[in-house]
Each structure stands twice: as C-alpha cells, then as structure tokens.
Amino acid sequence: MALTNNDVLKKIRVALKMRDDDIVEILALVDFRISKGEVGNFCRKEDHLKYVKLKDQILRNFLNGLIIYKRGPREDKHVKSPSPEQGNKGHE
C-alpha cells in the first residue's frame, strides 16, 4: 500500500517534531495561508469525521516551504556577463 499525502505530512511532522503552528508557519513562507484546524484535519485518521484528504498542491507548497524553513531563502544566482576579452570572440 502506497503512502498518501497525509501519511507523508504526518511522518515529516513526527520526524521533525513539529506542531500544527510550525506547519502553518512553513506554509506561510511560500504565501500559502491555512489554519491550524485545517492542518489538524489532515493529520487525523481516515475514519475520523473531520479527516480531510491532503491535496498535492498543499503538500508541494509545504515541501517548498520546508526547504526555506531549514535552509533559508534562495539566493538568486546572477549569470555573469562575459568579460571584455571573451565577449565578442568569433563575432567580428
């Protein structure tokens, strides 16, 4: 049996000792707003009345936010323009 998105979120949550507040904060890093209650519903058992299936978009945003949370924001790497000696070779 394959893991569901809910299983992946729950396993990461346990492994990193996160609370619902932490998950809300991580999702906010990628401008995705969600309530603690909604996060709690994703972590319930499937047979619970308030269980909600975690969609791919939310898991994707959580994983992208987790990268920022753990590593910090991405630094844009600017492409260096060629030096004057390299710039026009072969185009004369």
**If pLDDT is split at 50, 70 and 90, which confidence band does 92 have?**
very low
Determine the residue type at 49: L
**If pLDDT is split at 50, 70 and 90, which confidence band does 74 have?**
confident
3-state DSSP call for residue 63?
helix
What CA–CA distance (Å, rounded) separates 88 from 21?
55
Distance of CA 33 to the CA centre of its chain: 13
Domain ranges of the chain: 5-71
Q: State pTM to two decimals.
A: 0.76
Q: pLDDT (tens digit, 9 = 90+) per residue, 12-62?
A: 999 999 999 999 999 999 999 999 999 999 999 999 999 999 999 999 999
What CA–CA distance (Å, rounded) separates 12 from 71?
16
Closest CA to 69 of 22, 32, 36, 33: 22
Pair 33, 19: CB distance under 8 Å: no
Q: pLDDT (tens digit, 9 = 90+) per residue, 3-19?
A: 999 999 999 999 999 99
